[in-house]
Each structure stands twice: as C-alpha cells, then as structure tokens.
Amino acid sequence: MNRIQFMLWLLLLPLFSMAQGPPITTDKPIMLGAKTVVVKTLTEVRSLEKGVFTKAPLMIHYLPTSNSLVGVHLPYVHHLENGEASGQSIGDVEVMAKYQFYRNDKTGKTFRIIAKTLQTLPTGKPLDVDGISTGVYQNYTGVVAGYESIKYGISNELGYNMMPNGSADDLRYKLGIGLPLLPPTYPVKQLNLYFEYQSNWFVERKDYQQLYAQGVQYAKGRLTMEVAIQLPLVQIILKDHERNYSLFFGTRFVF
C-alpha cells in the first residue's frame, strides 16, 4: 500500500468508526472532528420488580478539539410504581467530559484511550433508580479503551461512581463488541450488531449485577438509529431493584 492509500485510510477511518458507534449501552474512545456537535437521544424503558421507569434524555455533545468532548444530558422521566400512581418529571441531569490522551493509528485500524467524568446532579425525584432518577449527587470517573477496525470494534470501560450522600457507590465495568454487517462505504451506510456487557459492584451494599444487551444499529450519512434489549445475567441485589429487562431505542445526528 503506497503512501497516498495509507493517508486515505487514516482520513476515512473516523468515518467508518462513526458508522460503528458509539455502542448503544456502553461507550467508546473514538471521537469525531473538532467543532462537531452531536445531538442524540436514547430512551430506556426499564422494568424492575417495583415498577416500570422510562427515561427519555436529550443529549448534546460538543467537541472543542478532536481529542476532547463536553456534553449535557437533559432527561425526561416517567414512572409507574407497583401499587402507586404514575408520575413524570425531569430526571437527574448529567454533565460529561472526555479527554483522549492516547491514540495509535495503523492501516485500517486504531487503538485509543480516553479519560471520562460524569457528574450527576440531584435534579430528579428520589426514586432510587440508578441512572434514571435518584435525587442524589454522583461523581463518576473512568477510563475507556477501544480497538477499532473496518471488521469489528471492541471497547472496554472501567470506572467508579461515588454517591457521597447515598449508599450506592459502585465499581463499573463495561464491554462492547461491534460487528458491521455491510462493507465500509463513503458516504456512510452501515448496519451493525452490538454485543454489550455491564457489571456493577455496589461496594457498600455488597450487591452485584451483570447485564447483557443485544442491539442493532443503522447509520446513513450523519444519522444513526438504534435499538437494543438488555437482560440480567446475574442479580445479587435488593428484590425491588431486580431488573426484568430494559428496552433502548434512539437516534443520533452529527452536525
């Protein structure tokens, strides 16, 4: 492969990576170009033993540079608890920042690592539903490492979520595997399968939960649409917090 072909691969790889992600329920270290704005939503319908909770967030991400990202998530929450009337309100607002501190590009593939922080503000009702509405401030810090090629993508995330005024501190690990079903093209037109795992160790409660999500994603140009179902594999937690399933569906548009 000559130098011109190699440089073309490096230019097109972020476009292929954009088609392969980000994963649906996990995260990845691949970032788009500087001054890019991404507007997305990922609605979750979560069925727990104590009721059904729906979170529909508006997520706005901005990349000041090609290796940094800031974002805000504004969630609308609807809840229907067993034996109680339903309600709706704003959930816990989230403010996110990422910084990519390592990048190694090779022909048709790349490996990258980012640092990530997510600040959860106590704007929601105290429903005690993690990731939806707790009404308690939380501080998450983690690292995301991922390998991406035109054949598949693998991302790993390890982090710790602190809840200073609560008892749900947890150590989190996420693994996502993306498999594109169509050959890479430009403009982007891609159909992807995602296999995603999530483990949570609640250190104070001594609880543990492992989830698996199966998803499909369609990307064309700047628009991405996705849907996934998440099921529990292991649950050693309080009965009310046991999950039956979660359904995810959303869209993403890049400006």
Q: What domains can be seen in the chain, in order of their start residue?
A: 3-254 (2.40.160.40)
In tens, the pLDDT along 207-245 reads: 999 999 999 999 998 999 999 999 999 999 988 889 999
Which residues, including other chains, have CB under 8 Å from residue 201's CB and lie 6 or more apart? 170, 171, 172, 207, 208
pLDDT of residue 20: 53
Distance, CA of 132 to CA of 17 (rounded, Å): 28
Work out the average pLDDT over 22-28.
89
Mean pLDDT calculated for residue range 117-131: 94
Please state, rounded to an integer, the average pLDDT across all residues of the chain: 89
> Looking at the predicted structure, is the pLDDT value of residue 125 above 60?
yes
For the cut 60, the answer to whether the pLDDT of residue 131 exceeds it is: yes
Contacts of 208-214 with CB under 8 Å at 24 or more apart are: 208/234, 208/235, 208/236, 208/237, 209/234, 209/235, 209/236, 209/237, 209/243, 210/234, 210/235, 211/243, 211/246, 213/24, 213/25, 213/246, 213/248
- Residues 151-180 have pLDDT tens digits of 899 999 999 999 998 888 999 999 999 999
Identify the pLDDT of residue 83. 66
| pLDDT computed for residue 62 by the predictor | 97
% of residues, the chain, pLDDT over 70: 91
| pLDDT tops 80 at residue 12 | no
pTM: 0.88
